[in-house]
Amino acid sequence: MKKSLYLKFIFGYLIFGLIGFAVIAVFSARMTYDYLTRQSAGILYDEAVLMADTYTDSFNSIEDIEENVYDQLRLVAGFLSCHIWVMDSDGQIILDSDGNRLRGQAVEGFSPASTTNTYVIGDFYDTFSEDVLTVSAPINQGYRTTGYIVLHRPLREIMASTDKFLNILYITCGIIFLLSLIILVVFTITVYLPLKKITVGAKEYAGGNLGYHIDIDNVHDEMGYLANTLNYMSDELSKLEDYQKSFIANVSHDFRSPLTSIKGYLEAILDGTIPPEMYDKYLHRVISETERLNKLTEGMLTLNTLDSKGFLNRTNFDINRTIKDICAANEGICQEKNLNFELTFADETEMVYADYGKIQQVLYNLIDNAIKFSDPDSTIFIRTALRQKKIFVSVKDTGCGIPKENLKKIWDRFYKSDVSRGKDKKGTGLGLSIVREIIQAHGENIDVISTEKVGSEFIFSLPPAKREEL
């Protein structure tokens, strides 16, 4: 049977309270009883000594005491809630504060040493029907002990006092225990209820309901942080799920289109729809669609390599020379649209420490995009500069620009804006994803500044060349 953590906490709390109360009751009862017994014995003994000294100084013999102090004994006995005896040295009771009830009676087996300077508990040689606390003090006449002052206090009087103290202690413990329930209430509100909501949310996420939101408002402790983290996790997983669906849809679409074209052309050739004299034209189209598929596959393999932390073959090379070579390789395409490159370098040579082949791929993709989206008879601006110990490279065009709402999406795999599909239906939608992955693999950043109908500028950073390798 599954047990709730909350029930375990309550059970432990109650067990702790009961055990604590039992321990306090046992030890406190014993300690209080011992303390009151010693205190009572001390008071009685002090009174006995005082009375014995008084009688020693005031009377010449034990018989004189018998004649003069009965009323005093009765008053003191009433004040101390005890019985007071005056006994001779042989153990015979001379006076009894309790109405002289035992006057003249001898206590068999009486031993003065058993009560002097200490106390005893018992029935005092079978004299009482209940246990009493007994102390005594000698009455000396000269150098001779002629009698004893003996005080008896019933233990029930001490027990009654003990119970009064313990009742106060028990009530105090009860109040403290009840007040400690506030801790349980605070725990319930701040820990158990939020944890219960988090548990429900975790079950929903485990069941696939990533849209579930754990509702814990105005909680800024660890529970609130955990709930917010789980909510963030569910949002990210939901986005990832949507991205995976979109990824599969895009891959299917981009593979299906060229495959459909290839299949259609080949079937048309086989069934004679396309005459032999047109074979050359349509076979070239098949080759073009095959190259498109190959480009798409290579792009996906490149992203997979970067995702798995592919090895970077870093070397020192001149980024300015690399830019010049790539621009020269695109001169033919630029002439068709009458595009110009304007190169601005802070220094003639700008050495960087990076993977030469992958940075080439970054520049090819960015310059290729700039050419695609630039209007005819325009200029593409490429700049490099050293700032804050980083080499910054900028590729800027004056083309159609990117709508503001699409700026964050351009880095997604297979994403193509409507403008892109109109300008370049053969694009794979992987170019900018590859660019960002390569730059991030170098531990650097890339950003874009774009205004619709004005143009776009891509800026990325690279680490400078290591001095020892220059």
Q: Is the pLDDT of residue 392 over 90?
A: yes
Query: Is there a single domain that holds both residue 242 and residue 332?
Result: no
Q: What residue numbers bound the domain in which 262 lies?
A: 222-306
Greater confidence (357 vs 250) lies with: 357
Three-class DSSP category at 433: helix
Please report, for the domain that includes residue 422, its CATH number. 3.30.565.10
Q: Is the pLDDT of residue 383 over 90?
A: yes
Q: Is the pLDDT of residue 141 over 80?
A: no
pLDDT digits (tens, 9 = 90+) for 237-251: 887 777 677 667 666
Query: Is there a single domain that holds both residue 249 and residue 110?
Result: no
Query: Is there a single domain that holds both residue 331 and residue 292?
Result: no
Residue ranges in 143-272 assigned as alpha helix (H): 155-187, 193-206, 222-270
Long-range contacts of 332-339 (CB under 8 A, 24+ apart): 333/371, 334/371, 334/380, 337/371, 337/374, 337/376, 337/377, 338/376, 338/377, 339/371, 339/374, 339/376, 339/377, 339/378, 339/379, 339/380
pLDDT for residue 425: 45
Query: Is there a single domain that holds both residue 33 and residue 135?
Result: yes
pLDDT for residue 319: 92
Long-range contacts of 308-312 (CB under 8 A, 24+ apart): 309/441, 310/441, 312/354, 312/355, 312/358, 312/441, 312/442
Average pLDDT, the chain: 80
Of 139, 161, 183, the position where a domain reaches its end is 161
| Length of the chain in terms of residues written | 470
Q: Is the pLDDT of residue 21 over 90?
A: no
Please report, for the domain that includes residue 297, its CATH number. 1.10.287.130
The structural domain count of the chain equals 3
Greater confidence (53 vs 133) lies with: 133
* Amino acid, res. 199: T
pLDDT for residue 396: 92
Q: Is the pLDDT of residue 428 over 60?
A: no
What is the pLDDT averaged over residues 437-460?
A: 88
pLDDT for residue 417: 58
Query: Is there a single domain that holds both residue 93 and residue 146?
Result: yes
Query: Is there a single domain that holds both residue 281 and residue 339?
Result: no
Query: Is there a single domain that holds both residue 393 and residue 348?
Result: yes
Give the pLDDT band (50/70/90) at residue 3.
low
Query: Is there a single domain that holds both residue 324 and residue 229?
Result: no
Give the pLDDT band (50/70/90) at residue 459.
very high
Whether residue 373 is contained in a domain is answered as yes
What is the pLDDT averaged over residues 251-272?
A: 78
Of 136, 161, 186, the position where a domain reaches its end is 161
What is the pLDDT averaged over residues 128-154?
A: 86
Q: Is the pLDDT of residue 358 over 90?
A: no
Query: Is there a single domain that holds both residue 235 and residue 334?
Result: no
Of 108, 131, 161, the position where a domain reaches its end is 161
Query: Is there a single domain that holds both residue 315 and residue 301?
Result: no
Whether residue 212 is contained in a domain is answered as no
pLDDT for residue 470: 41
Query: Is there a single domain that holds both residue 297 and residue 316?
Result: no
pLDDT for residue 423: 43
Give the pLDDT band (50/70/90) at residue 201.
confident
Whether residue 384 is contained in a domain is answered as yes
Query: Is there a single domain that holds both residue 54 and residue 72?
Result: yes
Which 8-state DSSP code applies to residue 464? Answer: B
Whether residue 253 is contained in a domain is answered as yes
Please report, for the domain that includes residue 143, its CATH number. 3.30.450.20
Whether residue 20 is contained in a domain is answered as yes
